Amino acid sequence: MITDRVSDYLEKIEKSDVNAFIDVNGEKVLKEAEELEKNDALKNKPLYGKIVAVKSNINVKGYKISCASKTLEKYVGTYDATVVKKLRSQGALIVGMTNMDEFAGGSSGETSCYGPTKNPAAMDRIPGGSSSGSAAAVAADLCDMAIGSDTGGSIRNPASHCGIVGFKPSYGVVSRQGLCDLAMSFDQIGPLTKNAEDALVLTNAIKGIDRSDSTSLETPKFEKKDISNYKIGVVKEFMDVTDEKIRNEIEKGIEVFKDMGCKIVDLSYKYIDLALPTYYLINYVEFFSATRKYDGRRYGEFIEEACGEEVLRRILIGKHISEQEFSGKYYKKALQARKSMKKEMLGLFNSADLIVGPTVPKLPHKLGEDVSPMEMYAYDVLTVPTNICGICSGVVRCGNIQGVPVGLQIQGAPLEDEKVLSAMIEFEKNY
């Protein structure tokens, strides 16, 4: 019975000390479960009876959509985002809203006004961010699957740290209508799941064109493909910036592809040093623009007076470099760098079907550890190129270091999501 499964998850959530959820309405979801059991029209749908958690920057009617910020702590969603409508139409149930870095501006899961999320795989360490609660909820078995958003690694980073599966679709594959944007030219909604097969199913359920999101695209149903003849690219610079212990685990993962019959191709990407400055300069400007609606009139509190330190830092820098006298010096140059980075990245796929490597360059730090902003941003060096270039990327577990999970990142060219998801599934089967 679906109601029994919902009750079991609600009990687990109540007892959990992971702090994965911000808002759970047990009475509401149990009532929806009862109604779902009577709905014969949905019983053959791919997500029938699946219990799904949703990141707190995606609108779900009747739930607190706070973005984990005091700015919006009293805001309750008045509508369902397009992805939520799609989930419901496929027979899924929304169990609650997950914790996250405030306004998705973080890589650790520690900047939420509701307190940090813990890593179920290593309770003394960060779970990664910004989709920290969604990843932790899946890893702690508090739901069947979850939805997150990825602006520069916010799905893949916590998937790697928590030892689960995460997938960032190509830009435009999933509608962002109803998402509280961080940086609109980077943002993408995607799945966090317990296995790669579920990531494929969930991606198919939420993707598709949406007239309310002009960036959304129509794509055919993604199917599993044979990858045995694929060329798998390994980028030297991605490996070079990675901690040796993580690199060793990734190299074992690369051997799995070789054993499957794939050809390993050595590649070079000359713009790795541009990744963080290019990403963050554009991020700051777009985030500053996005936050102008939080002026205390229509939505919550005036953001500059209510937000935390990292969000305020991004707003102030974004405001500064948006000014006419600095725009050419910083923002416009970042846009030029983005073009160069994308051209170089897309060129790599002329030599390889997929690019495989580490997800994050270092192990997650301990909760509460004093980490500088630059040290925090360094977590993103291997994930932001995906968003800068608009390509797709997934993460699957690839070993561990003293119990701390390591994630293998698989990147594909724009709209080659099917290839990436297929490789993720085959890797899991053969690892």
Q: Which of 322, 336, 263 is nearest to 290 (CA)?
A: 322
Alpha carbons 123 and 370: distance in angstroms, whole number? 17
Q: Which of 362, 358, 361 is nearest to 409 (CA)?
A: 358
Residue recorded with tokens 């985002």: 81
- 66, 108, 112, 130: the active-site residue: 130
Check if 130 is active-site: yes
CA 258 to mean position of chain CA atoms:
28
Residue recorded with tokens 């777009």: 286
Q: How far is CA 334 from CA 112, 159, 275, 280, 329, in A?
A: 29, 28, 10, 9, 9
Q: Are 173 and 214 a contacting pair, CB within 8 Å?
A: no
DSSP, collapsed to helix, strand or coil, labels residue 137 as: helix
Q: Are 32 and 38 a contacting pair, CB within 8 Å?
A: no
CA 14-16-20 angle, 5° bins? 95
CA 386 to mean position of chain CA atoms:
12
8-state DSSP, 162: H
Alpha carbons 9 and 15: distance in angstroms, whole number? 10
Check if 55 is active-site: yes
Alpha carbons 200 and 159: distance in angstroms, whole number? 15
Q: Are 144 and 51 a contacting pair, CB within 8 Å?
A: yes
Beta strands per DSSP E along 202-358: 231-235, 263-267, 354-358
- 50, 55, 118, 207: the active-site residue: 55
- 53 by Cβ neighbours in 10 Å (0-12 / 13-18 / 19+) ranks as buried
Check if 175 is active-site: no
Instruction: Provide the pairing of β-strand 188-193 with 145-150.
Output: antiparallel
Q: Which residues fall within 8 angstroms of residue 224, CB to CB, at 6 or more apart? A: 200, 421, 422, 425
- 66, 69, 107, 154: the active-site residue: 154
DSSP, collapsed to helix, strand or coil, labels residue 395 as: strand
Alpha carbons 160 and 143: distance in angstroms, whole number? 18
Catalytic (active-site) positions: 55, 130, 154
